[in-house]
Amino acid sequence: MTYDPDNIFAKILRGELPSHKVYEDEQTYVMMDIMPRADGHMLVIPKTPARNVLDAAPEQLSAVMTTVQKMSHAGMKAFDANGITIQQFNEAAGGQIVFHLHVHVLPRHDGDTLRPPGTMADQDMLAAHAEKIRAALS
């Protein structure tokens, strides 16, 4: 399989589509998931092309996982969470829908359940959640 430079995350990285940015460094970009399964649901992506874990360079994986750890701490602090769920899918049979490497980071609370997939969130709520996480990074 080849990388499609017109996938939604590539378009976000090029500024062609909007996102609720939470964090960015030289190698990674973090945004709110527009269909969050939990409050504070973030996506961590590399800024360079990679279809998924199966074709990513070790440097991309290292940068992404370093950011995943940073955002996990921020998500727990921002949402007073008891834990974090990290999800990552590869190829259609593995559940991948957008074919640009991405890792889901979801703050979790004891006894909570994830919302069903596919429901768009209120944009004001996403903006507020992004701000809350950015504040926790300080």
Burial class (CB in 10 A: 0-12, 13-18, 19+), 40: buried
Question: Which residues share a beta bridge with 44?
Answer: 30, 103
Catalytic residue among 20, 41, 100, 102: 102
| Region for residue 85 given its phi and psi (left: phi exceeds 0; alpha: psi -120 to 50; beta: otherwise) | beta
Is-catalytic flag, 129?
no
Residues catalogued as catalytic: 102
